[in-house]
Amino acid sequence: MDIENPLGTPVLAVASGTVIVAGTDQARVYGLKTDFYGQLVVVQLDREFREKPVFVLYGHLLRVMARLGQRVTIGEVLGEVGMTGITIGPHLHFEVRVGANAYTNTRNPDLWLKPLPGHGTIAGQLLDAGGNPIPEALVTFHRAEEPDRRWRETWTYASDEVDPDRVNPDEEWGENFVMGDVPAGSYVLKARIGGRLHTQDVKVRAGKTSLVTLETKK
């Protein structure tokens, strides 16, 4: 997840844990290659998921203020928004990793972050007739009162063959697309597969995650 902010904006810890990386990735690979994130901080959270460790990465920092081995709590300043590493503008690159501090262990951060007040999250499954995830398909979101007007859009996750380092589906939700910070209300989701339009209604509740499945038919 990339979050745009001005240079120097404080970067805060999203949860309590221990800093296991604080510095640069010039000598060690944490992404696709060295100097991918530039200056970064990685925190191993106190909480586990299904008895697996959970790691949170903050990348492209202008300045690292956390120290290796430091215990941090929610809201504590870890650094400042920058544009180090591979980036074309100031922003925070935010990742959640489950099981190992590795690029191949990423999960969708929108399923881990608490939504804004009055908002919820949609975890979606776009499946073929055999129940298999459809990769790299466009899903559009429409407010129920304006079903013909596109409100937001996203793409389903890539396949293993196309991108072995893609975002991995969550073990609980089994999703292949997510939309976070959706105002509570009713929505229509649409996806055009093989020339045929598929739609599904979904109701979003504040502070909750709604699971929706669009399954194509033969």
pLDDT score of 25 more than 90 = yes
Query: Over the chain, what is the mean pLDDT?
Result: 95
Tell me 133's DSSP state. Answer: B
Q: Please give the Cα distance from 52 to 156 (Å, whole number).
A: 25
For the domain made up of 119-215, give the CATH fold. Immunoglobulin-like (2.60.40)
Query: Which of 26-30, 150-154, 214-218 has the weakest average pLDDT?
Result: 214-218
Average pLDDT (161-181) is 85
Burial 96-132 (b: 16+ CB within 10 A, else e): bbbbebebebbbbbbbbbebeeebbbbbbbbbeeeee
Residue in 47, 15, 43, 48 with CA at minimum distance from that of residue 30: 43
Matching CATH number, 2-107, of 3.40.50.720, 2.70.70.10, 3.20.20.70, 1.10.1040.10 = 2.70.70.10
Spatial separation of the C-alpha atoms in residues 124 and 156, rounded to whole Å: 9
Structure tokens at 204: 């979003």
Provide the whole-model pTM: 0.90
Q: What's the average model confidence in pLDDT over 61-74? A: 98
Predicted local confidence at residue 151, as pLDDT: 97
pLDDT digits (tens, 9 = 90+) for 116-150: 999 999 999 999 989 999 999 999 999 999 999 99
- Position 161 pLDDT exceeds 70: no
Q: How confident is the model at residue 43 (pLDDT cuts 50, 70, 90)?
A: very high
E strand residue ranges, 35-90: 39-45, 54-64, 71-72, 77-81
Secondary structure in 3-state letters for 3-47: EECCCCCEEECCCCEEEEEEEECCCCCCCCCCCCCCEEEEEEECC
Q: Are strands 209-215 and 119-127 parallel, antiparallel or unpaired?
A: parallel
The closest alpha carbon to 122, from 34, 191, 27, 186, belongs to: 186
DSSP 8-state class, residue 172: T
End-to-end CA distance of the chain: 35
CB atoms within 10 A of CB 76: 16
Q: What percent of the chain has pLDDT over 90?
A: 92
Kindly list the domain boundaries of the chain, sorted by start residue.
2-107, 119-215
- Please tell me the predicted confidence (pLDDT) of residue 162: 59
